[in-house]
Amino acid sequence: MALKRLRRELQLVRDSPPSNCSAGPIHDDIFHWQATLIGPEHTPYSGGIFRLLIDFPLNYPYKPPKIRFDMPVYHPNINDRGDICLDILKKAWSPALTIVSVLLSISSLLSDPNPDDPLAPEVAQVLRTNPHAFMLTANEWTIRYAR
């Protein structure tokens, strides 16, 4: 089941790639993918190219993929290991979701961080107390790590 679904999703990504992301298997391993996201415009991540690693479980799509950034990202919902705090990757997962919809949700998280549900509490505190400093640091990290 997972293999058939992943092949179909890969074909969809290749036939109709979203404008701000790409994804595909690493070394032809259909259960391990790499993805890239282009930083959303009008955010401190604009202009960045962000790499993600995706591991699909054998019971995909009934269980969510494990996705993490493969580079440092200054964001309250992304920790120093690249783990992402996003409800659809945990309790709100649905088999109806596709990897493209998940990547678009991660892109949306870059545009709209949630300091009330942080994986990086210190970054969330900066965002809450000094949004300008948050924006500057996030942009500096984007320039340093995502270009």
Annotated active-site positions, please? 85
DSSP bridge partners of 55: 32, 66
C-alpha span between 58 and 77 (Å, rounded): 26
Q: How far is CA 104 from CA 36, 58, 93, 97, 109, in A?
A: 11, 23, 14, 11, 9
Residue 94 corresponds to which tokens in the numbers above?
Answer: 């649905």
- Dist CA 18 CA 116 (whole Å): 29
Instruction: Please answer whether residues 111 and 25 qualify as being in contact, where contact means their C-beta atoms are separated by less than 8 angstroms.
Output: no
What is the chain's Cα-based Rg? 15
- What are 70's two structure tokens? 């493969």
